[in-house]
Amino acid sequence: MVTVTFRCGHTEDLSGNEQSPHCWCGEGRITQVHAPRPKFRGYALGPCATFKRLKARAVDLSVKGNAHGK
């Protein structure tokens, strides 16, 4: 879901499939867009994200030392 704020001040939740969204009052100019942050699985390198399946790896979650790992 993407939340847009129109120039009139009204907000609307959009699915992303709309061709030209308009407010219920008729305003079509959008001033702000609030979208969720992208989620990555794999790795991101530089300005572009590349999907790569990573091998599973064992992680030791036992507490050792302080919170900073020292």
24/16 Cα distance (integer angstroms):
17
Identify any residues that bridge with 13 across adjacent strands, giving them in sequence order.
3
Question: Can you tell me which residue has the tokens 């300005």?
Answer: 47
Domains of the chain, by residue range, sit at 2-38
Taking 60 as the threshold, does the pLDDT of residue 69 lie above it?
no
Q: What is the pLDDT of residues 8-33, one digit of tens each?
A: 999 999 987 888 899 999 999 999 99
Confidence of residue 58 (pLDDT cuts 50, 70, 90): confident
Query: Parallel, antiparallel, or unpaired: how do β-strands 11-14 and 2-6 relate?
Result: antiparallel
Q: Which candidate, 3, 2, 19, places its Cα nearest to that of 11? A: 3
Comparing 62 with 33, which gets the higher pLDDT?
A: 33
Q: What percent of the chain has pLDDT over 90?
A: 34
pTM of the model as a whole: 0.52
